[in-house]
Amino acid sequence: MGRRMAKLKARSFTKEDIALSALLFASTLITWFPALNGTLLWDDDGHVTKPALRSLEGLWHIWFTLGATQQYYPLLHSAFWLEHSLWGDAVFGYHLTNVVLHSIAALMLVGIVKRLKIPGAWLAGFLFALHPVTVEAVAWISEQKSTLSAVFYLSAALVYLHFDQTRKRSQYFAALVLFILALLSKSVTATLPAALLVIFWWQRGKLDNKRDVIPLLPWLIAGASSGILTAWVEHSYLGAQGAAYSLSLAQHFLLAGRALWFYPVQLLTPVNLMFFYPRWNLDPAAAWQYLFPLGFIAITGLFIWLARRNRAPLAALIFFSGTLFPVLGFLNVYPFVYTFVADHFQYLACLGILVPLAAVLTRITPDRRILAILPAILAVLTFREARIFEGQETLYTETLNRNPGSWISHNNLGNWLLDQKRFPEAISHFQATLKLKPDSAEAYNNLGSAYARMPGRLAESIAEYEAAIKIKPVFAQAHNNLGSALIHVPGRRDDAIVHLRRAVELDPTSADAQNNLGSALSETNEATVHYEAALALNPNSAMARTNLVVAHTKQGAKLMETGHLQEAIAEYETALRIDPEYVDAHNNLGTAFAQSGRISEALPHFEAAVRLQPDSPEAQMNLAGALDEIPARAAGAIPHYEAAIRLRPNLAEAHYFLGVALAKLPGRTLEALAHFEAALRLKPDAETRELVNRLKASAR
């Protein structure tokens, strides 16, 4: 029995399958080649692991701290965490991972279709792998959630279909684990148990509670729980709430009906795809809009009638619409603020159309050479579409060509131009955004940021930030920007601090806001608390690191002035632990040690200061003074006094102490006299005049 099963498994995976698998991988890689070196796009920086989460502790937060990531998809963000550990910020690795995951998902689809004995398994796999409607999910790093979850979703389905035949517990639990992994990558996969029930109904004509329904009850509960959690996170953390999401029952009905026609049309005629589609005006008073939901109801009724002879069309329709259910408008998802539809929404749902299409085409035309034409055409379209995703400028420019009313494209393109320091162009796009969407707090904030970077336009930037906050009082970034701007207005530091405190209160995870608040409080001990918070959130922040070092150094200086040398030493040592190459901290710590009589401990810090900043006369003087205090090394002070004089010829102290050092050496009295006279000219005093007269007398 075991040998017979082994033979059956061997026959199920032939040399032809291996060749076709290789061809699928190769064709997918070539088709997506333009996007492989694409830059980070919109929202990618919110998905690629943030600096504060790149440690093992960060990985813990990914799993157990809600709000640590944009959405609670811990497996997805663990994948991003691992990828960043492997190749850092190099985007090629992320894009390649997406393409590979997409190819694996296509192969899983082939396995499922073969398992279900539906004709055209390989055609279905190639249609899915090369279809341009999947470009958004594959070429956009943020949508790795789609490709990763699809691999687990389809793997879980394939294993469960095996279990349905064998009833082995090991296969059941393996499938359940894969399903949970899919949910932890993207909750839209919650529809899988319902999809499996549809498949069993299609196969058997009815569902048996014991065989079909009861085993999937834990799956249905897990899926529902995941969906509820995701909806709550979208509402609480992503802001999927407010007027943009307040649809009436009639509008929900119109939205669902229109979307159910939109997606098949885009799938079957993929010639005008967009990153941001126009946001429909759902008007219950417009009779023509009811044609969409009523038409879908009519099609469903027709398929129900046909199901007496052939259940496949109805099963495909239920799978397609059921898989789309989470994004049909009955649940609020963040993108609804700018569009009700997106290509990546139908990444899995499109299988409900592509698989039946492949089956029909295979029955009509069994000639593989003819069947290969369609995937080839799709590959060309996909290649052209993937080129748009090479960078933000091409993506948003092309989107605006296809959808001129896309306010979010104007806004995002403006942000990209702002990063490129193309300020006038950025301003024009932010202004275009506000013409299309006058209540966009983000556009006002971005416009303020553009003005803030241009000389003489600080007042305009402040006005734009204030406008953003008026529209959205809980806008942390606008409070942060406004506070940072007000710092530069005389007499408004207190106002700035109020806004910066509000920014930190609204978003305690903003390293920028923490750092800016610390800068505003730089004259107080509280500053270090915020600099430390900023550095903990973003260990790579050079600005926060420098500010924290400066704060500790300033605190040390205050303590030295009041005679608290030990406390000052502790502050300087803290500063140097943060930045071992901070010159002022080395100089000040050396001075504190010297004043405490600990010359041997002061010396290494003065030497470090000279090594790091040899053109500093203060550093040269400090080192020379320390060497002068050590009899065995006093002669070593002379070149440092000389260096200080070369750097600052009018430094009276350097001339004086160099004179003292030279006077101790035989045969160098005249050199010492010259430096004493220079010191006397620069800073007349009785002690120096007496030394000059004494040396002149001894020289005679």
| Helix segments in 420-526, DSSP class H | 423-436, 441-452, 458-471, 476-486, 493-506, 511-520
* DSSP letter (8 states) at residue 280: P
- The answer to whether residues 411 and 434 touch, using CB atoms and an 8 Å cutoff, is no
C-alpha span between 598 and 582 (Å, rounded): 21
Q: How many whole angstroms separate alpha carbon 196 and alpha carbon 612?
A: 68
Closest Cα to residue 51, out of 531, 506, 511, 508? 511
Q: State the pLDDT at residue 10.
A: 42
Domains and CATH numbers, the chain: 20-48+89-387 (no CATH), 541-613 (1.25.40.10), 637-700 (1.25.40.10)
Q: What is the dihedral of CA 452, 453, 454, 460, to 10 degrees?
A: -10
CA atoms within 13 A on the CB side of 337: 18
- CA-to-CA distance for 406 and 643, rounded, in angstroms? 64
Evaluate if residue 427 carries a pLDDT over 90: yes
How confident is the model at residue 418, as a pLDDT? Answer: 94
For 6, counting Cβ atoms within 10 Å of its Cβ (0-12 exposed, 13-18 middle, 19+ buried), the class is exposed
List the structure tokens of 42: 């919109």
CA distance 196 to 505: 46
Query: pLDDT, tens digit, for every residue of 475-518?
Result: 999 999 999 999 989 999 999 999 999 999 999 888 889 989 98
d(CA 247, CA 330): 9
Convert the pLDDT of each residue in 560-596 to its tens digit: 877 788 887 887 787 787 778 878 888 888 888 888 8
pLDDT at 2: 46
**Alpha carbon 112 to chain centroid, angstroms:** 34
Cα dihedral angle (436, 442, 447, 451), rounded to 10 degrees? Answer: 170
Give first-to-last CA distance, the chain, whole Å. Answer: 120
pLDDT (tens digit per residue) in 201-234: 999 999 999 999 999 999 999 999 998 888 788 7
Burial (CB < 10 A; 0-12, 13-18, 19+), residue 19, is exposed
Query: In Å, what is the CA distance from 408 to each residue of 273, 336, 405, 414, 422?
Result: 16, 12, 9, 10, 18
Retrieve residue 87's tokens.
Answer: 């190749």
Instruction: Determine the distance from the C-alpha atom of residue 587 to the mean position of all C-alpha atoms in its chain, rounded to a whole number.
Output: 40
Q: Count the alpha carbons within 13 Å of 358 in the hemisphere toward its beta carbon.
A: 27
Closest CA to 104 of 51, 158, 59: 158
pLDDT digits (tens, 9 = 90+) for 90-123: 899 999 999 999 999 999 999 999 999 999 999 9
Q: Which helix (H) or strand (E) holds 654?
A: helix 652-663
Q: What is the mean pLDDT of residues 124-134?
A: 97
| pLDDT in the model for residue 303 | 96
Write out pLDDT tens, residues 663-698: 888 878 788 888 888 888 887 776 767 666 666 666
What is the crossing angle of helices 476-486 and 493-506, to 10°?
Answer: 160
Rounded Cα gap, residues 426 and 451, in angstroms: 10
| DSSP collapsed to 3 states, 626-638 | HHHCCHHHHHHHH
Q: Is the pLDDT of residue 71 over 90?
A: no
Kindly list the distances between the CA atom of residue 169 and the CA atoms of 172, 204, 215, 568, in Å, as whole numbers in the listed order.
Answer: 5, 22, 11, 68
Of 362-376, 540-554, 594-608, least confident by mean pLDDT is: 540-554
Q: Which residue has the higher pLDDT, 8 or 664?
A: 664
| Of 8-17, 169-178, 574-583, the least confident | 8-17
**E strand or H helix at 640, and its extent?**
helix 638-647
Structure confidence at residue 7 (pLDDT): 45
Q: What is the CA radius of gyration of the chain?
A: 35
700 has a pLDDT exceeding 70: no
What integer is the mean pLDDT of 622-627?
A: 89
In whole angstroms, give the CA distance from residue 543 to residue 549: 10
Minimal CA–CA distance to 699: which of 668, 675, 664? Answer: 668
Region 415-435: mean pLDDT is: 95
Residue 241: per-residue pLDDT? 65
Model confidence, pTM:
0.79
Output the six-digit token pair for 627: 């060497």
Name the strand (E) or helix (H) holding 368: helix 368-371
User: DSSP secondary-structure letter at 623?
Assistant: H
Look at residue 9 in the predicted model and tell me its pLDDT: 47
Place of tokens 């055209």: 120
* pLDDT of 190 over the 90 cut: yes
Phi and psi angles of residue 554, each rounded to the nearest 5 degrees, phi first: -65, -40
552 contacts 528 by C-beta, under 8 angstroms? yes
Instruction: Report the mean per-residue pLDDT for the chain.
Output: 89
Amino acid at 315: A
* 3-state SS assignment for residue 131: coil
Residue 175 has pLDDT above 80, yes or no: yes
Q: What is the pLDDT of residue 253?
A: 94
Q: Which pLDDT score, from 0 to 100, does residue 697 have? A: 62
Please say if the pLDDT value at position 63 is more than 70: yes
Which tops the pLDDT comparison, 159 or 554? 159
Expressed in percent and rounded to 5, the helix, strand and coil fractions of the chain are 75, 0, 25
Among residues 412, 240, 213, 266, the alpha carbon closest in space to that of 326 is found at 240
Q: Give the residue from 509, 504, 534, 477 showing the smallest Cα distance to 68.
A: 509
CA angle 104, 361, 371 (to 5 degrees): 70
pLDDT of residue 686: 67
The pLDDT assigned to 352 comes to: 96
**How many whole angstroms separate alpha carbon 343 and alpha carbon 140?**
12
Mean pLDDT, residues 374-381: 95
Q: How far apart are CA 140 and CA 336, in angstroms?
A: 19
Report the alpha-carbon distance of residue 533 to residue 74 in Å, rounded.
24
How far is Cα 479 from Cα 485, in angstroms, rounded to an integer? 10
Strands (E), 135-220: none
